[in-house]
Amino acid sequence: MLINKTLATIAITTLFVAVGLGYISAPDPASKHNSSEPDKAMSSNTTLFSKSGHNITPLTDAQIQEHAKDLTPEEAKVILRSGTEAAFCGNLVDNKLEGTYICRLCDLPLFQSNSKFKSGTGWPSFFQPVDPQHVTEKDDSAHGMTRTEILCARCSAHLGHVFPDGPKPTGLRFCVNSVSLDFVENGEEFPAGGKPSMLKTAYFGGGCFWGVEDTFEKLPGVTNAVSGYQGGNDDNPSYKDVCSGASGHAESVEIQYDPSVISYNELLAHFYIIHNPTQGDRQGPDFGTQYRSVIFPTDAEQMKLATAFITDEQIDGKWKDKPITTQVVMAPKFYKAEEYHQDYHAKHGGSCHIPD
Domain boundaries, the chain: 2-194, 200-348
Q: Which residues contact 52 (CB under 8 A, 6 or more apart)?
A: 109, 130, 131, 133, 134, 196
Residues 153 and 131: beta-carbon distance below 8 Å: no
Q: What is the reported pLDDT for 4? A: 43
Residue 106 neighbours by CB distance under 10 Å: 21
Q: What is the reported pLDDT for 324? A: 96
| Residues with active-site annotation | 175, 208
Which CATH architecture does the domain made up of 2-194 adopt? Answer: Beta Complex (2.170)
Map residue 27 onto helix, strand or coil. Answer: coil
Give the global pTM: 0.59
Q: Is 267's pLDDT higher than 60?
A: yes
Q: Which of 36, 46, 1, 15 is nearest to 258 (CA)?
A: 46
Q: How far apart are the first and last CA of the chain?
A: 56
Overall average pLDDT of the 85-90 stretch: 95
Overall average pLDDT of the 108-123 stretch: 97
Q: Is 50's pLDDT higher than 70?
A: yes
Task: Please tell me the distance from the alpha carbon of residue 340 to that of residue 105, in angstroms, as a whole number.
Answer: 37
DSSP conformational letter for 245? S
Dihedral (CA of 155, 157, 159, 164) sign: positive
Q: What is the reported pLDDT for 356? A: 63
pLDDT tens column, 124-149? 999 999 999 999 999 999 888 899 99
Overall average pLDDT of the 254-277 stretch: 94
Map residue 7 onto helix, strand or coil. Answer: coil
What is 200-348's CATH topology?
Peptide Methionine Sulfoxide Reductase; Chain A (3.30.1060)
Q: Which of 55, 25, 35, 43 is nearest to 153 (CA)?
A: 55
